[in-house]
Structure 1
Amino acid sequence: MRTLLLTAGLLVGLSPMCMAGQVYKWVDAQGVTHFGSQPPQGTEATTVIKSAAPPAGKPPAPPSGGAIGDQKAIDQDVKKQIAEQEAQLKVFCEQARTNLAQLQNNPRLREEVEGEMRRLTDEERSQRIDETRKQIEEHCQ
């Protein structure tokens, strides 16, 4: 009876490993990294985890610490990428807020166009203020 329960427990415990499929990784147009079981159409995806059938004639081996270590490494890579993206977004938001303050507080702004300095008109200035506010609303919290 114990042997039957032990065998049933091992089969249930190992069944998710047999059903694991391929995992794909890709980066979308906004630079966000995605993972999924289906590769997207029109973008290049790399295979992160390949499904492998157990070799014929051998019983499946019990799970080892190696697979868990690989998953931890993948998790750390993903967390690192997310942290880098958040840092880039933070720099973008700070720059956008600085630009908005410059646009709002300085009515006599100049820009360099083809090596020559020219003053922004009031319409151009107000248009840039609106664009900058829109970017801050969309990307910064």
Structure 2
Amino acid sequence: MTLPIRIAFAVWMSLAAVVAEAGQVYKWVDRDGRVHFSDTPRPGWTRVDLQSAPAAPAQDAGGEANPRTEPSAGSARDRLRAEECRNRREQLQAYRNAATIIERDALGNEKRYSETERLQLIEQTQKQVAELCGEPVLQ
């Protein structure tokens, strides 16, 4: 192999190794409202997976939801929805308690939310909680 190809291959393999080593990032808000990130969970804390809201069921030409799932899947779906509701409520509480919000992506880049962005994030999360939980969110 020529030198440029070897270098490109070495760089590609190094990047693949870095991606393989990328683990989970844990985020928490301390008592003072500061957001922290770590590669290990805090002792005594429980894991909360944040995911986007579930998609609405597909509709057929008649306009009704297409019931492709079996009846037992409804209870599993209800459990997942209840868990997601609880997770969103916890996320909303963390946003409300945080003086500032800083998020770090998988590459380690930090995004600091302005006060306006923080309030918009709280409002958006309130809407998600209302939709998932089926009840209005108390201020």
Alignment TM class, shorter chain as reference = 0.3 to 0.5
TM-score (norm 2): 0.46
User: Greater helix percent: which structure?
Assistant: 1
Task: Return the structure number with greater strand share.
Answer: 1
Q: For the pair shown, which has the larger CA radius of gyration, 1 or 2?
A: 1
Q: When the two structures are superposed, what TM-score results if normalisation uses the length of structure 1?
A: 0.46
